[in-house]
């Protein structure tokens, strides 16, 4: 059964969503991310993906107080990303209640530091974030592209022990036009034992069913929930 992971993206302490990572496309869905998290939990959700978009833009963790509130007021298993660029950021995230952290830009810019974290905390605590546009890695909250090809990038860290990867197709994210199923299938063909978490583009229950049929282990989505395209009660078949 595919693992269901709703997303809460935070700007200025509020629950928001972007389109294709464009901060100018920001739409506020709820003033209280904690209340959103509580509603998820009340409907049987166990996992949560929290992104500090302010942190991603400013290159250090910002919204850790919101993380702390979600962690203390729910029993959700939280993975946290956005702005984790130093040992101090990492420590703050874990101390604030994250059970896992996702590192994307840091893995590109400081691969040795990211590998140190992997060795210190283990593959169950450190998730590799692979944000892609045209199969090339993007960094800094998706604002900057690179010439780094996706598959070699993944291979580099899988060889070092990474087991969990969140892969977001930026062109799909927030667009409600369907996820990149073929891209995820291609990744799993290369790395069949990888715990691949699909992210971006989910627009309806059929999209989740297609990902499950493709044997994608997990899926992150948010906008479809906030826009009412998927209702929490519908997800109970996966929980």
Residues recognised as catalytic = 9, 131
Q: How many residues does the chain have?
A: 239
CB burial readout 187-200, b (16+ within 10 A) else e: bbeebeebbbbbbb
Please give the Cα distance from 107 to 61 (Å, whole number).
16
170 C-beta neighbours (distance < 10 Å), count: 19
Element (H, E) at 157: helix 150-158
What DSSP element (H or E) covers 39? helix 33-42
């Amino acid at each position: 059964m595919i693992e269901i992971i709703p997303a809460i993206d935070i700007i200025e302490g509020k629950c928001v969503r972007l389109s294709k990572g464009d901060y100018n496309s920001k739409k506020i869905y709820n003033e209280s991310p904690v209340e959103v998290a509580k509603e998820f939990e009340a409907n049987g959700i166990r996992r949560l993906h929290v992104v500090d978009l302010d942190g991603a833009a400013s290159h250090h963790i910002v919204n850790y107080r919101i993380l702390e509130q979600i962690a203390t007021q729910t029993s959700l298993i939280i993975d946290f990303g956005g702005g984790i660029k130093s040992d101090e950021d990492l420590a703050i995230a874990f101390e604030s209640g994250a059970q896992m952290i996702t590192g994307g830009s840091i893995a590109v810019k400081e691969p040795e530091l990211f590998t140190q974290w992997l060795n210190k905390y283990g593959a169950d605590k450190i998730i590799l974030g692979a944000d892609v546009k045209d199969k090339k890695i993007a960094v800094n909250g998706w604002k900057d592209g690179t010439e780094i090809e996706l598959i070699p990038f993944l291979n580099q860290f899988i060889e070092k022990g990474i087991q969990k990867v969140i892969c977001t197709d930026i062109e799909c994210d927030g667009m409600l036009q369907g996820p990149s199923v073929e891209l995820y299938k291609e990744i799993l063909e290369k790395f069949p034992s990888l715990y691949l978490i699909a992210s971006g583009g989910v627009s309806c229950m059929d999209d989740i069913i297609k990902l499950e049929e493709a044997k994608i282990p997990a899926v992150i989505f948010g906008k479809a929930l906030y826009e009412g395209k998927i209702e929490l009660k519908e997800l109970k078949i996966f929980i």
